[in-house]
Homo-oligomer: A and B are copies of this chain.
Amino acid sequence: MAAISVVFASFIGVPSREAGMRIALLGGTGDIGEGLALRFGRDTDHEILIGSRDPEKARDAVEEYEAVLEDHGVEANIKGFANEMAADRADIVVLSVPPYYAGDTVEAVADNLDEDTILVTPAVGMKGDEDGMHYHPPGVGSVTELVAQRAPEAVPIVGAYHNLAAGKLADLSVEFDLDTLVVADDEDAKRTVISLSNEIDGLRTLDVGPLANAAEIEAVTPLVINIARYNDELDDVGAKWL
């Protein structure tokens, strides 16, 4: 839900609502959640809320992330909650759960979302065989669109962070120089997420249009896994669009 500061900022004509946002990372104990927590924690002043189905697990992750950030000289502002509570308190909710939990997690937190909460989805459907990973989208076309279908209608949905190199993201000693691709039907929500993502050092965020363009972005995730598998020198890889 929108913090008071956000409403006030837009009222006085400040062009972005980035100052003082609360970012909930649902499933924030997983690899993408960890990376986003550490990067947002180090590179921004936003409040980070780690969500998990088990709030105890969320609080353990917070301790771990705070220790890492302290090693990098950062006093972090991170808290751990059950997913519902994290979503309820946040301006931006990132659904950093495995794809098979994405739909259920949206439904679990549906009552905690509203038109002032931006729901960000990075999940991708894949299946592997002996050759590699393959894109395996749900019938609606992409997991991003599935999330949009399952969320309350008023909630703005943004697809982002699908193809980030999770290992590099979570290793603060790695100097990041990658792009992330963003789709949304709600232009305001898209601009907010682009602006927020660009606060992470070395991350460039590119607009790729509406949610209908999500599938081609999601398909890059199995591809980067395949590139990593067949190239020893690229064990954790993302994309830069040049």
Chain A positions within 8 Å of B, measured between CB atoms, are 129, 131-135, 165, 177-178, 181, 206-210, 212-213, 215-217, 219-220, 222-224, 226-227, 229-231, 234, 237-242
**Residues of the B chain whose Cβ atoms lie less than 8 Å from the Cβ of A216:** 132-135, 219-220, 222-223, 226
| Chain B contacts for A178, CB-based, 8 A | 242
Residues of B within 8 A of A165 (CB): 242
Say whether, besides A238-B242, A239-B242, A242-B237, A209 and B222 are in contact (CB < 8 Å): no
Given contacts A219-B135, A219-B219, are A177 and B242 in contact (CB under 8 A)?
A: yes
| A177 surroundings in chain B (CB, below 8 A) | 242
A135-B219, A240-B239, A242-B239 known; A231 and B206 CB under 8 Å?
yes
Is B220 a contact of A223 with CB atoms below 8 Å? yes
Decide: B234 and A206 in contact? CB cutoff 8 A. yes
In the complex, chain B residues whose CB is within 8 Å of the CB of A132: 208-210, 212-213, 216
Tell me the smallest distance from the CB of A18 to a CB of chain B, in Å: 21
CA distance A240 to B179 in the complex (A): 10
Residues of B with C-beta under 8 A to A133? 216
Query: Are A242 and B241 neighbours in the complex by a CB distance under 8 Å?
Result: no
Residues of B within 8 A of A210 (CB): 131-132
**Minimal beta-carbon separation of A140 from chain B (angstroms):** 14
Q: Is the beta-carbon distance between A215 and B181 smaller than 8 angstroms? A: no
Closest-by-CB residue of B relative to A225 is B216
- Between A and B, 11 residue pairs with Cβ closer than 8 Å are A132-B208, A132-B212, A165-B242, A178-B242, A206-B227, A207-B231, A209-B226, A216-B220, A216-B222, A217-B223, A224-B241
Give Cα distance in the complex from A216 to B221, angstroms: 9
